[in-house]
Structure 1
Amino acid sequence: MAITVSLVALFGLVLFFLLRHRTLSYGAAFIATGFGFFLASTGAAEPINQFTTALIQAIPTS
């Protein structure tokens, strides 16, 4: 759960800076956010969560 919240915060921060520097339009940000919410309600949500968890666990910590 903590990983998911951290990734949501990270992606939200990236989206904020893209909007602030006008690299991304408000319409495209709305579509990207909507896509994320709809994707989360499909069967693809669990494999995506497993994949991101595996990637994070593969990062060596010292």
Structure 2
Amino acid sequence: MQLSISAIVILAIVLAVLIRGGHLKWPAALVAVLFGFFLAGTTVAPQIHDGLDGVTSTVSKINP
């Protein structure tokens, strides 16, 4: 659960930076947020979650 909250915070920051930088307009950002919201309710959500878990576990195993 802690990982998913971290991912949400990071994605929210990236979204805010893109909007403030002018690279992403408000209507497109709203569509992106709604797409993510509705995607979370589909049958694909567990596979996406498992993929993100795999990526984060791989990244955490990289030695600095």
Scaled to the shorter chain, the TM-score interval is over 0.9
Following TM superposition, the consecutive aligned residue runs of length 4 or more in structure 1 with deviations greater than 6 angstroms are none
Q: What does residue 14 of structure 1 align with?
A: 14
RMSD value over aligned CA atoms? Answer: 0.9
Unaligned runs of 5+ in 1: none
Q: Greater RCO between the two (CA within 8 Å, min separation 6)?
A: 1
Any residues of structure 2 matched to 1:1-62 within 5 Å, and which? 1-59=1-59, 60=61, 62=63
Secondary structure at 1:24 match in 2: coil
What is the percent sequence identity of the aligned residues? 31
TM-score by length of 2: 0.92
Aligned-pair CA distance for 1:20: 0.5
Unaligned runs of 5+ in 2: none
Aligned-pair CA distance for 1:61: 5.0
Report the count of equivalent residues.
62
- Paired with 1:44 and 1:32, the residues of 2 have a C-alpha distance of 17
